[in-house]
């Protein structure tokens, strides 16, 4: 049985990112793998031995609650330390970083990725597309990554983190204001650090990026992307054709 942890859907479930867990489950089931989603709500302990974890987007106040709970509970941190694959989307990315800005000031993050989030000059809303940079476990990705970004946060990566992609459309992690002390950070999207992959792509990201979904599944199953049986799904191909340019 493959288990997918859906982390805090009650506070980080505003943007339909729980669809990422559904995509993982469906792609696994289509390959004949018995798979279940385990939703873990605010206040509940995060089991550390699930096969893969999805952390979604949310509003600023919800992020503060999520960060406090995940730090105090420690289950997701132990899962990351054990090399379990984790996907973080938008607010999920910010919460998994070292700190982020909220209305109450700078808030401590869970610290799974070397990334801090300040503020953009203006909210980034619209299609975002990038080419995978091939960092770490994402080395096998070669298809353009596409999604829809909607954030005010500007994320700056530290030396332990690498970007997921180079932006070809949209804003990505930061604009020039957010990166005023590190201009080289403009034009990149997402974060890869160990087995943690984070992105600003909503969509949900895995519906629009089946290769990324299969990479996470492969990690969850302890195999490689190349070894997964390919799936030919016409509606996914159609969606990518509409959204990739």
In the complex, the residues that contact ligand GLN under the rule CB under 6 A are 15, 57-60, 90-91, 150-153
The answer to the question of whether 245 is labelled as a binding residue is no
Shortest Å, Cβ 152 to ligand GLN: 4
Contact 112, 99 (CB under 8 A): no
Q: Which is nearer to ligand GLN, 196 or 225 (CB)?
A: 196
* Contacts (Cβ under 8 Å, ≥6 apart) of 148: 126, 127, 128, 201, 202, 203
User: What length does the chain have?
Assistant: 245
User: Rounded distance, CA 94 to CA 190, Å?
Assistant: 10
Catalytic residues: 90, 202
CB nearer ligand GLN, residue 153 or residue 170: 153
Quote the least distance from Cβ 13 to ligand GLN, whole Å.
10
Residue with token string 């479930």: 13
Dist. CA 49–CA 65, nearest whole Å? 23
Least separation, in Å, of the C-beta of 147 and ligand GLN?
11
Packed helices 210-221 and 19-29: angle between N→C axes, nearest 10 degrees: 70
What minimum distance in Å lies between the beta carbon of 66 and ligand GLN? 11
User: Which residue lies nearer to ligand GLN by CB, 209 or 219?
Assistant: 209
14, 20, 23, 29 alpha-carbon torsion, rounded to 10°:
-110
Three-class secondary structure of residue 233 per DSSP? coil
User: Which residue's CB is nearer to ligand GLN, number 57 or number 97?
Assistant: 57
Q: First vs last Cα of the chain: how many Å apart?
A: 38
Residue nearest to ligand GLN (CB): 57
Binding site for substrate, residues? Answer: 123
Binding site, residues? Answer: 123
């Amino acid at each position: 049985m493959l288990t997918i942890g859906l982390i805090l859907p009650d506070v980080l479930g505003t943007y339909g990112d729980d669809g990422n867990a559904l995509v993982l489950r469906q792609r696994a089931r289509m390959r004949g793998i018995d798979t279940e989603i385990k939703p873990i709500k605010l206040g509940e302990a995060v089991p550390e031995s699930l096969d893969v974890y999805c952390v979604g987007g949310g509003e600023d106040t919800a992020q503060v609650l999520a960060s406090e709970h995940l730090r105090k509970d420690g289950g997701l941190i132990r899962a990351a330390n054990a090399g379990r694959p984790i996907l973080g989307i938008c607010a999920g990315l910010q919460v998994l970083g070292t700190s982020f800005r909220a209305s109450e000031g700078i808030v401590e993050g869970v610290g799974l990725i070397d990334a801090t989030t300040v503020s953009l000059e203006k909210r980034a809303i619209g299609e975002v597309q990038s080419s995978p940079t091939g960092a770490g476990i994402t080395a096998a990705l070669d298809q353009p990554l596409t999604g829809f970004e909607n954030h005010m946060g500007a994320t700056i990566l530290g030396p332990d983190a690498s970007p997921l992609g180079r932006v070809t459309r949209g804003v990505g992690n930061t604009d020039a204001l957010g990166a005023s002390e590190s201009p080289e950070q403009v034009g990149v999207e997402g974060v890869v650090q160990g087995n943690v992959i984070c992105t600003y792509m909503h969509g949900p990201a895995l519906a629009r990026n089946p290769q990324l979904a299969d990479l996470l599944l492969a990690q969850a199953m302890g195999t490689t992307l190349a070894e997964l049986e390919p799936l030919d799904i016409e509606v996914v191909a159609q969606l990518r054709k509409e959204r990739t340019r």
